[in-house]
Amino acid sequence: MPHNTITAWPARELSRAIHARRVGCVEVMEAFLAQAERLNPTFNALVSGVHREALLQQAVQRDQELSGGMSRGWMRGFPHAPKDVTSVAGLPTTQGSPIFKSHVPDSDSIVVERMRQAGAIFIGRTNVSEFALGSHTYNPVFGTTLNAFDKNLSAGGSSGGAAVALALRMVPLADGNDMMGSLRNPAGWNNVVGFRPSYGRVPVWPVKDLFLQQLACEGPMARTVGDAAALLATMAGHDTRVPFSIKEDPGPFRQSLDWEHKGARIGWLGDLDGYLATEAGLIDTCAAALKHFESIGCVVEPVRVDFPMAQLWRAWLVFRGLLSGNVLAPLQADASCRALMKAEALWEVEAARGYTAADVYEASVVRTAWYRTLGTLFERYDFLVLPSAQVFSFNAQQAWPQDIAGRAMDTYHRWMEVTIHGTLGGGPVLSVPGGFSANGLPIGLQILGRAQADLAVLRIGHAYEQASGFSAIRSPALT
């Protein structure tokens, strides 16, 4: 079968083809490796690659097992590259930092463990921003990952390698983690899907702190919402090692997402009534995509949110400093490591030192008020929608946008403020393709739902995807 046919299949269709013996795991592996060999030298999405012969041997084993009636799971034979921040036994986990360039874990994280059990074959890692900080994937270990639609531009981050590998069909699925849009912005900038699940939906382990860390999560990326839901079903589910993980059967995520949405109420948040600085044309592009919700019977209304957004940003800085800064502090304290850390990482450590226990408490009070505000909004609307980023993709040589529409960005991540509202809400947020700029650059839409209403968000995202047709638009590199 032609390689371009195999790599073009949606993941669930690929799984059915493998299990029906219409295509073998060796053939699948060869197809995706050929795609990576052709495109990865230019776009730099995959790193720490495993030797080809070792991968083909694993694929042979999967074919032999299937011939013997053994099916490990729906991802049997899938070439997969976990994000380079999550532990994979036997593969380097560098976090994009020269400090960990030679670090090789001896055990899997929970999500990797579950994907391995489902039959995935790990071919390497997807590239990340250093320490997963910032929404632009570049680091001193592997270099810069380039946008799938324009190789001169940023891929977004920190799951930029995952998004580009998906968009260019080097892998059938991808995983990532998300604190400040790391699953959402790169998905939007590369015309794929990224899903930030509800807090506790996907258990995160190993971690040093199980109780304070409530902002970062792990989740799926895919070329379609249905494929993302199928991977979520593999990643999700309670684990006794993680006390706040949700005790709910993830099986429904594997089922059809078809659903009737006539009369569903969509609240359009836009740029939060001018509070968020946005690049010219971005709001218009996203607003034009709202007609696809209307085409499936939804009612779309603009929403003005009565909340002091400056206070929410301040709360975000406290939480971010508390969590990121303190994780990095031991490295910053070591002079040899400090010399190898980027300025933004050092900034996080210094910021953390300036916050008091009273600051943390006040930030939690503000977050609680924001959650209540969302609850009030969800009494009127079924879903809330806003852009996945405040700018279209920028030059890959630029570290981060210094200003947007004449408004200075006072931190390295202020230009991604649009993502904190979903994160601090604790509920599911789905990034779906939201259209293209006048220059052909993709942007995404974030769909926010009530806490633990992950399936409902996936269903509305699936219906929107079918109506818009944006997911079918391919990178020019594939033509």
**pLDDT per residue as tens digits for the range 144-199:** 999 999 999 999 999 999 999 999 999 999 999 999 999 999 999 999 999 999 99
| CB-side neighbour CA atoms (13 Å) of 145 | 35
Summarised one tens digit per residue, pLDDT across range 102-151 is: 999 999 999 999 999 999 999 999 999 999 999 999 999 999 999 999 99
User: Looking at the predicted structure, is the pLDDT value of residue 100 above 90?
Assistant: yes
- pLDDT bracket for residue 363 (50, 70, 90): very high
Task: Give mean pLDDT, residues 30-52.
Answer: 98
Percent of the chain exceeding pLDDT 70 equals: 100
Q: What angle do CA 190, 221, 22 make, to 5 degrees?
A: 105
What is the per-residue pLDDT for 378?
98
Instruction: Give me the sheet containing 299-302, strands edge to edge.
Output: 174-178, 217-222, 193-196, 429-436, 442-448, 383-387, 265-268, 299-302
307: pLDDT strictly greater than 90: yes
Query: In the prediction, which pLDDT does 71 show?
Result: 84
Tallying the residues shown for the chain, one arrives at 479
Instruction: Enter the tokens of residue 74.
Output: 């729906």
Q: What is the pLDDT of residue 269?
A: 98
Q: Kindly state the average pLDDT of the residues 285-293.
A: 98
The pLDDT score that the predictor gives to residue 318 is: 97
Average pLDDT over the chain reads 97
The encoded tokens of residue 101 equal 């360039």
pLDDT tens across 268-283, in order? 999 999 999 999 999 9
What average pLDDT does range 71-88 have in this prediction?
A: 96
Q: Could you tell me the pLDDT band of residue 70, with boundaries at 50, 70 and 90?
A: confident
Confidence tier at 3 by pLDDT (50, 70, 90): confident
Rounded CA gap, 178 and 45, in Å? 18
Q: How many Å apart are CA 391 and CA 276, to the nearest integer?
A: 11
Instruction: Give me the helix-helix angle, 326-333 and 343-353, nearest 10°.
Output: 110
Look at residue 4 in the predicted model and tell me its pLDDT.
87
What digits encode the pLDDT tens for the residues 405-454? 999 999 999 999 999 999 999 999 999 999 999 999 999 999 999 999 99
The CA–CA distances, whole Å, from 471 to 360, 365, 399 equal 41, 39, 28
Task: Residue 305: count other Cβ atoms within 10 Å of its Cβ.
Answer: 17
Q: How confident is the model at residue 479 (pLDDT cuts 50, 70, 90)?
A: confident
User: What confidence score (pLDDT) does residue 67 get?
Assistant: 86
Q: What pLDDT, on the 0 to 100 scale, is given for residue 69?
A: 86
Residue 1 has pLDDT above 80, yes or no: no
- In order of 106, 161, 284, 385, 386, the CA distances from 154 in angstroms are 33, 11, 22, 24, 21
CA angle (474 as vertex; 468, 478 as ends), nearest 5:
170
pLDDT at 158: 98
Question: Structural domains in the chain?
Answer: 3-478 (3.90.1300.10)
